[in-house]
């Protein structure tokens, strides 16, 4: 032990030689260590390279999930951009070049523009009522009434491309489900349109060629009910009082005083209205369409409408203002067959309704359709699909969720469930399951009070 101790103490090189060697080994030591370090670093570097090449690990600490996430998100963004920009150049309005380029030349008036464009929804039909009667008598398997009720076709739609705002598509989906539910409960068929049938009548005017097309293709349908994609059914028990409309062909929500006395541009609402399938309706569509064609016609028409309708801002002609202008300027021709309905909310402006839902649940019951339990809550101006609405986005989305759940509660009730709250997507059971479910069903009244 003593020897070893001496041996150990005598030098780090274990050679046992005395201090004469310590200076040289010191230098060599440093060199050796330096070499070792070099080799280690080199080897480490090579290992990293190899691993990176084989496994593809940019950062060995396992954040690859995030990078994969990132990659997927980038992929989706790129695909979204491709999908959104998938568009051909817009068709040129044949007269627009004249309008803009040559200002010293002839200034088009609205009447001249209409005549020059010469737009028509289709070949003139004058005997549609007879054609339809003949067809119905020849096709008893496609009657215009089912179980004593006239057949209704609900028409709605949205553009074929994804919304600029992703949440917009989610609310289109919910709105569609909401319409499917109401229509299933009331035996109404649905057409969801995503096609631009007429490039000239694009935008809000697109409903005109669509309505005409559906009327002419489906003679078995008595009423065509247009409904905007941002309108929700909030009274699932309310049935349209069709007997009231025996002698009318256009049912539209509005206020007669605003219409006839004030000529207000919001006197009527074309977000939810009914057209009877008859000659009169075809004639009205033909009289309504001329302000619609994109470009110079629509712009000049817009100026006329702003000049004649109270409160209308300056922008191109829209279908609602055009209809109001038409009905007020040709009152004698059309108004006898138009029913301006305001005894229930065939269209209900959302801002005044959505905050009162809890109060309604407390005090009223479904089936009323009016301010106590609105039939339709219409999110005018929210535009969840586009980038800019007229109201704060959060308020709009929150309110749409509430309206959807308010209506959905009335459907879920049939199965014994309800939403946990008007903003919650979660549901809770409100009626226990039983081994005699049909007894419960017999007693279930859609129009009865809802206890949450």
213 burial level (CB within 10 Å; 0-12, 13-18, 19+): middle
Two tokens at 104? 């010293």
Q: How many residues contact other proteins, by CB under 8 A?
A: 93
d(CA 354, CA 359): 10
Which DSSP state fits 344? S
Query: Is 96 an interacting residue with respect to other proteins (CB under 8 A)?
Result: no
d(CA 94, CA 91): 9
If the CB atoms of residues 30 and 48 are measured against other proteins, the closer one turns out to be: 48
Q: Which residue has the tokens 């040129």?
A: 92
Pick the closest to residue 265 from 210, 226, 309, 326 (CA basis). Answer: 309
d(CA 325, CA 317): 11
> Closest approach of Cβ 414 to other proteins, in Å?
6
Two tokens at 55? 């496994």
d(CA 317, CA 298): 5
Two tokens at 321? 């203002």
If the CB atoms of residues 169 and 239 are measured against other proteins, the closer one turns out to be: 169
Query: Which one of 169-177, 238-246, 350-358, 387-395 is the stretch in contact with other proteins (CB under 8 A)?
Result: 169-177
Q: Which residue has the tokens 């049909």?
A: 438
Within 29-48, which residues bind other proteins (CB under 8 A)?
43, 46-47
Distances (CA, A) of 15 to 5, 24, 154, 186, 387: 14, 13, 101, 103, 83
Query: Is 143 an interacting residue with respect to other proteins (CB under 8 A)?
Result: yes
> Closest approach of Cβ 120 to other proteins, in Å?
9
Q: In this chain, which of 95, 116, 180, 278 binds other proteins, going by CB under 8 A?
A: 180
Q: In this chain, which of 10, 11, 129, 192 binds other proteins, going by CB under 8 A?
A: 192
Query: Is 243 an interacting residue with respect to other proteins (CB under 8 A)?
Result: no
> Closest approach of Cβ 84 to other proteins, in Å?
10
Query: Is 190 an interacting residue with respect to other proteins (CB under 8 A)?
Result: yes
Query: Is 176 an interacting residue with respect to other proteins (CB under 8 A)?
Result: yes
Two tokens at 300? 């000049």
- With beta carbons less than 8 A apart as the criterion, state whether 148 and 134 touch: no
Within 422-441, which residues bind other proteins (CB under 8 A)?
425-427, 433-438, 441
Q: In this chain, which of 98, 116, 197, 202 binds other proteins, going by CB under 8 A?
A: 197
d(CA 430, CA 421): 13
Within 272-311, which residues bind other proteins (CB under 8 A)?
none
Instruction: Work out the angle between the directed axes of helices 393-412 and 166-186 (0-180°, nearest 10).
Output: 30
If the CB atoms of residues 9 and 14 are measured against other proteins, the closer one turns out to be: 14
d(CA 155, CA 211): 8
Within 48-67, which residues bind other proteins (CB under 8 A)?
50-51, 53-57, 64-65
Contact code string over 352-391 relative to other proteins, x by CB under 8 A: ----------------------------------------
CA atoms within a 13 Å half-sphere pointing along the CA-CB vector of 432: 2
317 burial level (CB within 10 Å; 0-12, 13-18, 19+): buried
d(CA 282, CA 297): 21
Query: Is 116 an interacting residue with respect to other proteins (CB under 8 A)?
Result: no
> Closest approach of Cβ 191 to other proteins, in Å?
7
Query: Is 449 an interacting residue with respect to other proteins (CB under 8 A)?
Result: no
Query: Is 220 an interacting residue with respect to other proteins (CB under 8 A)?
Result: yes
If the CB atoms of residues 189 and 362 are measured against other proteins, the closer one turns out to be: 189
Query: Is 2 an interacting residue with respect to other proteins (CB under 8 A)?
Result: no
Query: Is 412 an interacting residue with respect to other proteins (CB under 8 A)?
Result: yes
Report the 10 Å Cβ neighbour count for 448: 13
Query: Which one of 79-87, 259-267, 287-295, 370-378 is the stretch in contact with other proteins (CB under 8 A)?
Result: 79-87
Q: In this chain, which of 95, 98, 116, 167 binds other proteins, going by CB under 8 A?
A: 167
Q: In this chain, which of 217, 331, 336, 387 binds other proteins, going by CB under 8 A?
A: 217
Q: In this chain, which of 6, 7, 310, 362 binds other proteins, going by CB under 8 A?
A: 7
> Closest approach of Cβ 394 to other proteins, in Å?
14
Report the 10 Å Cβ neighbour count for 321: 26
User: Residue 252: what are its φ and ψ, rounded to 5°?
Assistant: -145, 145
Query: Which one of 327-335, 357-365, 376-384, 407-415 is the stretch in contact with other proteins (CB under 8 A)?
Result: 407-415
> Closest approach of Cβ 232 to other proteins, in Å?
14
Q: In this chain, which of 129, 416, 446, 447 binds other proteins, going by CB under 8 A?
A: 416
């Amino acid at each position: 032990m003593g020897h070893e101790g001496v041996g150990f103490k005598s030098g780090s090189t274990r050679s046992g030689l005395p201090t004469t060697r310590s200076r040289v080994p010191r230098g060599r030591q440093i060199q050796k260590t330096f070499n070792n370090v070099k080799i280690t670093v080199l080897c480490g570097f090579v290992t990293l390279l190899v691993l990176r090449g084989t496994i593809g690990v940019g950062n060995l600490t396992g954040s690859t999930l995030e990078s994969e996430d990132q990659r997927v998100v980038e992929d989706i963004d790129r695909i979204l951009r491709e999908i959104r920009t998938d568009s051909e150049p817009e068709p040129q309005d044949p007269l627009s070049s004249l309008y803009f380029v040559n200002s010293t030349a002839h200034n088009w008036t609205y009447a001249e523009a209409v005549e020059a464009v010469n737009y028509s929804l289709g070949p003139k039909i004058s005997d549609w009522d007879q054609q339809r009667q003949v067809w119905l008598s020849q096709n008893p398997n496609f009657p215009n009434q089912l179980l004593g009720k006239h057949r209704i076709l609900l028409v709605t739609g949205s553009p074929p491309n994804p919304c600029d705002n992703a949440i917009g598509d989610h609310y289109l989906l919910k709105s569609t489900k909401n319409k499917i539910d109401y229509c299933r409960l009331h035996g109404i068929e649905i057409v969801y349109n995503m096609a631009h049938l007429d490039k000239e009548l694009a935008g809000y005017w697109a409903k005109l060629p669509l309505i005409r097309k559906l009327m002419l293709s489906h003679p078995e349908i008595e009423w065509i009910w247009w409904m905007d994609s941002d309108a929700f059914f909030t009274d699932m028990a309310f049935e349209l009082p069709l007997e009231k409309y025996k002698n009318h062909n256009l049912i539209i929500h509005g206020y007669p005083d605003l219409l006839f006395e004030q000529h207000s541009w919001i006197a009527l609402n074309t977000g939810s209205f009914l057209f009877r399938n008859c000659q009169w309706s075809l004639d009205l569509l033909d009289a309504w369409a001329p302000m619609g064609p994109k470009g110079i016609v629509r712009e000049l028409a817009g100026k006329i409408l702003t000049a004649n309708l109270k409160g209308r801002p300056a922008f191109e002609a829209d279908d609602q203002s055009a209809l109001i202008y038409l009905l007020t300027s040709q009152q004698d021709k059309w108004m006898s067959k138009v029913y301006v309905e305001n005894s229930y909310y065939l269209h209900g402006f959302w801002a005044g309704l959505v905050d009162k839902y809890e109060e309604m649940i407390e005090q009223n019951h479904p089936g009323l359709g009016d301010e106590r339990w609105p039939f339709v809550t219409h999110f005018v101006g929210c535009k969840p699909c586009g980038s800019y609405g007229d109201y704060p986005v959060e308020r709009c989305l929150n309110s749409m969720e509430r309206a959807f759940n308010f209506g959905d509660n009335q459907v879920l009730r049939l199965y014994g469930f309800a939403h946990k709250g008007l903003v919650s997507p979660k549901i809770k059971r409100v009626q226990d399951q039983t081994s005699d479910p049909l007894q419960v069903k017999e007693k279930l009244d859609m129009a009865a009070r809802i206890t949450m």
